[in-house]
Amino acid sequence: MGNAYGGPLERIDDCRWRIPKSYKPGMRVDGIIYASDKMIEAIRGDQSPEQVANVACLPGIVAYSLAMPDIHWGYGFCIGGVAATNPEQGGVISPGGVGYDINCGVRLIRTDLTHRQMAKHVPRLIDQLFETVPCGVGRGGRIKFGRQELRQLLSEGSRFVVAKGYGWKDDLDVTEASGCLDKAQPDYVSERAFERGTDQCGTLGSGNHFLEVQVIEEIADPVAAAGLGLVQGNVAVMIHSGSRGLGYQVCDDALKDLRKVPQKYGIELPDRQLVCAPVHSQEGQRYLGAMAAAANFAWANRQVMTYLARETFQRVFGQSAEQLDMRMVYDVAHNIAKLEPYEVAGRTSMLCVHRKGATRAFPPGHVDVPARYRAIGQPVLVPGDMGTSSWVLVGQPAAMEHTFGSCCHGAGRRMSRSAAIRAAKGRSISKELEACGVYARARGHTGLAEEQPEAYKDVSQVVDVLHAAGIAKKVARLRPVGVIKG
């Protein structure tokens, strides 16, 4: 993951560290990293803090370049990176601040099933999910869309597939942006991207994507948990996936198209992976339109997988999804850029907020929080690793004050995939997981090795930082009992 960071990290308080803008020429704002004392030394171990400093050089950046406690090395931006630019002041959009897997995100489905009712069915349930939800590199599914249908899907997102019967209308109410960015431009999506998306809606993919069956093991905030429909001892389903090959192609196309654009607009960058365009430029608008279309594909993808998961539960337990009350709790994106209003220096401006491996964390009362959750705040879903636990939190006011309404997206890697594979040599990760009470199935022979629990930071330390900083409040801890991966 690169050499250790050798630059300054000044303590601000128990949760924040500053990279001063005096650190390197071109920095327009400070960099701020959220981390505990225990975490900061590990964060120094790669060049991700340097990426935070590099992002601080982007034209039009507002306030600071941010990194969440799941920070690790990424393409251009670090994973866990957040940056807001002001389009009215030359602010730019950078594909590296969104990532290759556009709108990779997480959704959570609650059920009325108890762990006791489900326990003896776990292997059969996971085997059935593994057969029903396509997973693995490049793997397509049984649900295919023609060119015109796919264009409509890219425009309408989740709404399109729900109208076709792949979900409940209520699902849209608890999906970020109702599962659709309205400025999507399918015309800006390449033919190759269309080809890659033809049969990949409703598929999990590979890498760190997963579908996990979990048990709600601990309730940290009973009022918020009740408001989200989370009951201790009950079963939940978490789905983590994105825009698959279509989104990857949109990013790849954009990086090529924008290669010479910084030079055209006189923009100097410390890292060519930060290639960008002014938001108001033709090139910037073209990327934003294609990115929004890919984001809509990702929401539709997770929606179809929700349908497939409900279908599988019905088959295994002999009850309808309605009888099992398999309601969605929330769906949140974590590789996306959006125009959102924020108050800066006493004035409200529309800012282009990049969230790369970071999610929204809007507080109680925010207009974009679903009405049913407005009194408690937006649900924040933070998956850990498949051997320990994941967390549900809710956004808090400090997120709007300090992080442009953002928080982390997961535990964050501490080992590269190749290092994890080396560490797994001679071991059976599936047997180790089974010994921990987790039944796992994976399509590829390296899937479980790459994603073994040791490859990730301790999610409890990550959420403790969020909680202490007032960005998001802990609500419930969920323990995995079964998982499928690519």
Half-sphere exposure of 196 (CA within 13 A, CB side): 19
Q: How far is residue 419's CA from residue 450's CA, in Å, rounded to a whole number? A: 8
Q: Give bridge partners of residue 331 from the DSSP assignment.
A: 107, 175
| Sequence letter at residue 234 | N
- Measured CA to CA, the distance from residue 369 to residue 376 in angstroms comes to 9
Residues linked to residue 224 through DSSP beta bridges, in sequence order: none
409 is catalytic: yes
Burial (CB < 10 A; 0-12, 13-18, 19+), residue 430, is middle
Q: Please state, in angstroms and rounded to a whole number, the distance separating the CA atoms of residues 428 and 155.
A: 44
Q: What is the dihedral of CA 466, 470, 473, 477, to 10 degrees?
A: 20
Of 462, 393, 380, 475, residue with least CA distance to 176:
380
In this structure, the number of other CB atoms found within 10 A of the CB of residue 276 comes to 28
Q: Please answer whether residues 184 and 154 qualify as being in contact, where contact means their C-beta atoms are separated by less than 8 angstroms.
A: yes
Q: Strand pairing of 105-114 and 234-241?
A: antiparallel
Task: Report CA-CA distances (Å) from 484 to 234, 238, 315, 333.
Answer: 20, 11, 18, 20
Distance CA 122, CA 142 (A): 24
Of 240, 280, 409, 445, the active-site residue reads 409
The residues carrying an active-site annotation are 409
